Amino acid sequence: MTAVIDSRGHRCPVPSLRLRKALEDQPGIQAFVLLATDPMARIDVPFLMSELGGRVVSVEETDDGLAITVERRAAPTG
């Protein structure tokens, strides 16, 4: 399952903050798509994901901004 976070129309740091909150509030979801119109999200989101131990899967340009797909760090097994 993939969760979509719509932060279109908001400026930095709101897109990253919304993504961080979604990661905290939805622990069962591994993949998230952040929709953003602020071009700084292209820089901020990879930084956030490296800080949290996750990764950016893709950054796609859309008609109305960016769609950034991320995955959280996999939970340890064992």
The vertex-29 CA angle with 10 and 46, nearest 5°, equals 50
Q: Return the half-sphere exposure (C-beta side, CA atoms, 13 A cut-off) of residue 36.
A: 25
Give pLDDT tens digits for 43-62.
Answer: 999 999 999 999 999 999 99
- pTM, 2 dp: 0.92
Is residue 46 helix, strand or coil? helix
The residues spanned by each domain of the chain are: 16-30+47-67
Q: Residue 5: which pLDDT band, with cuts at 50, 70 and 90?
A: very high
State how far the Cα of 6 lies from the Cα of 28, in Å rounded to an integer: 19
**pLDDT band, very low/low/confident/very high, at 1 (cuts 50, 70, 90):** confident
* Mean pLDDT, rounded, for 65-76: 88
Does the pLDDT of residue 34 top 80, yes or no?
yes
Contact in structure between 45 and 6 (CB atoms under 8 Å): no
Helices and strands per DSSP (H, E), number in the chain: 2, 4
The answer to which of 32-36, 48-52, 59-63, 72-76 has the lowest mean pLDDT is: 72-76
